[in-house]
């Protein structure tokens, strides 16, 4: 009787599961189509705008080929990339040791570190940059001739403004911290640490050979978020009167709209390419035993 009673249940349950899977698959397709339309239609419209030849008609690639020779573009791009690389290094040097210290030795300080990491999100960027501007004004005025005043003046070098790197590190810390925190929680760091220490590994070996390889994806994610923030930040650089790629785009938009949109489209595609590189770099080779 048991077999007779359970058999119809199995038979009727399988079609229900297939219907649920089919419904889920249709929902995913609809969501992906909506997301693709939302992102790709504006990008396609911008791309069509940049290749239109409004003088002779037809299409042209002159606005893309003329990007490297555009006035001020090479310097702005070089400055933004330099700021991005140095900011990524600074953010990782600040957040990775702090996260490892909290995980390895000072777990009681985790709530304090989390609270401090959220402060840049609480303080409005316009208030932050106003305070930075007032502080920079002390260099050539009240603190002129002192080491701190000289440091404030040198940090405003137009070729490589160090003060922008400091501000960008502060702004990127919450995003980098969340990425690293999610990575540490995902790998069950405490178990790995106890296992490595039980096998006789030193603390340096635990960090270098156990934790950092397992946090590769989190570190790459933090670096990518920081890179995107720096390459797209306009407000602070504009208020502090530094010429970066976003400020150059705004200036160029008034003189040559098609060239400005061409640079924006190219930078967006470049950002997507970096995201693809990060995704591929985070893939681990699958062993035969896993398959």
Fold classification of 70-281 is: MetI-like fold (1.10.3720)
**Where in the chain does DSSP place strands (E)?**
none
Q: pLDDT digit of tens for each residue in the chain (291 aa)?
A: 444 444 444 445 567 667 777 777 788 888 889 988 888 888 888 888 888 877 777 788 887 888 888 888 889 889 998 999 999 999 999 888 888 888 877 888 888 888 888 888 888 888 888 888 888 887 777 777 778 778 888 888 888 899 999 999 999 999 998 888 888 888 877 788 888 888 888 877 877 888 888 888 888 888 888 888 898 888 899 898 898 988 888 888 777 778 888 888 888 887 778 777 766 766 655 444 444
User: In sequence order, what are the residues at sequence separation of 6 or more whose Cβ sits closer than 8 angstroms to the Cβ of residue 77?
Assistant: 245
pTM: 0.77
**164, 243 Cβ separation under 8 angstroms:** no
Where does residue 238 rank: exposed (0-12), middle (13-18), buried (19+ CB within 10 A)?
A: middle
The pLDDT tens digits of the residues spanning 202-214 come to: 877 877 888 888 8
Indicate the helix (H) or strand (E) that contains 117: helix 110-122
Residue 169, pLDDT score:
93
In the chain, where the domains are located: 15-60, 70-281
- Residue 247 CA to residue 236 CA, distance in Å, equals 10
User: In sequence order, what are the residues at sequence separation of 6 or more whose Cβ sits closer than 8 angstroms to the Cβ of residue 197?
Assistant: 206
Residue (of 85, 139, 126) closest to 234 by Cα position: 126
Q: Is 57 helix (H, G, I), strand (E, B) or coil?
A: coil
């Amino acid at each position: 009787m048991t077999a007779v009673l359970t058999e119809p249940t199995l038979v009727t349950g399988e079609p229900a599961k297939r219907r649920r899977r089919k419904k889920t698959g249709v929902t995913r397709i609809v969501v992906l189509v909506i997301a693709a339309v939302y992102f790709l239609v504006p990008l396609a419209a911008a791309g069509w705008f940049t290749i239109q030849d409004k003088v002779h008609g037809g299409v042209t690639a002159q606005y893309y080929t003329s990007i490297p020779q555009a006035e001020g573009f090479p310097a702005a791009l070089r400055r933004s990339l330099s700021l991005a690389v140095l900011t990524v290094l600074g953010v990782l040097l600040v957040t990775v040791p702090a996260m490892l210290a909290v995980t390895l030795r000072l777990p009681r300080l985790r709530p304090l570190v989390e609270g401090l990491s959220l402060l840049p999100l609480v303080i409005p960027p316009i208030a932050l940059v106003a305070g930075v501007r007032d502080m920079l004004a002390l260099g050539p005025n009240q603190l002129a001739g002192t080491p701190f005043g000289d440091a404030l003046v040198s940090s405003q070098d137009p070729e490589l403004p160090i003060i922008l790197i400091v501000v960008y590190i502060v702004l990127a810390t919450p995003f980098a911290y969340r990425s690293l925190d999610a990575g540490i929680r995902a790998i069950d760091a405490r178990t790995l640490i106890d296992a490595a220490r039980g096998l006789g590994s030193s603390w340096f070996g635990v960090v270098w050979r156990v934790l950092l390889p397992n946090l590769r994806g989190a570190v790459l994610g933090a670096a990518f978020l920081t890179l995107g923030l720096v390459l797209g930040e306009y407000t602070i650089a504009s208020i502090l009167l530094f010429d970066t790629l976003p400020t150059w785009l705004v200036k160029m938009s008034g003189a040559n709209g098609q060239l400005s949109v061409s640079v924006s489209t190219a930078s967006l595609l470049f950002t997507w390419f970096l995201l693809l590189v990060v995704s591929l770099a985070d893939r681990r080779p699958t062993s035969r035993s896993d398959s």
